[in-house]
């Protein structure tokens, strides 16, 4: 998901939350547009943060996968070397 789509989606959710809040309070929905903008901005920032967190988590997962693959490769090499040494020692 792109950064813009993430921010826009969270902003729209923030607007919906604000409209729901005003609906519960039975206040006019368009009485204070500044409140709508603040709500959209706060939720948009949360969307930006969520996107950055997702990117960082993907980087950490890729890094950990490469570490695990390297560790497995070393274990396989060590097992193969010890097997060759055991066969050489039998003769």
The pLDDT of residue 32: 87
| Host domain of residue 12 | 3-90
Averaged over 38-57, what is the pLDDT? Answer: 96
Yes or no: say if 14 and 50 are a contact pair by the CB < 8 Å rule: no
The pLDDT of residue 1: 66
Name the residue among 54, 56, 42, 57 with its Cα closest to residue 7: 42
Reported as type and span, the H/E element at residue 48 is: helix 33-90
Backbone angles phi, psi at 34, to 5 degrees: -65, -40
Tally the domains of the chain: 1
User: What are the structure tokens assigned to 49, written together?
Assistant: 């943060």
pLDDT band at 38 (very low <50, low <70, confident <90, very high): very high
């Amino acid at each position: 998901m792109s950064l813009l789509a993430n921010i826009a989606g969270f902003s729209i959710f923030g607007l919906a939350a604000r409209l729901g809040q005003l609906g519960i309070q039975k206040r006019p929905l368009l009485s204070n547009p500044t409140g709508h903008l603040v709500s959209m901005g706060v939720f948009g920032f949360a969307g930006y943060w969520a996107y950055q967190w997702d990117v960082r988590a993907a980087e950490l997962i890729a890094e950990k996968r490469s570490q695990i693959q390297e560790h497995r490769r070393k274990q396989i090499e060590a097992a193969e070397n010890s097997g060759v040494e055991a066969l050489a020692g039998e003769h």
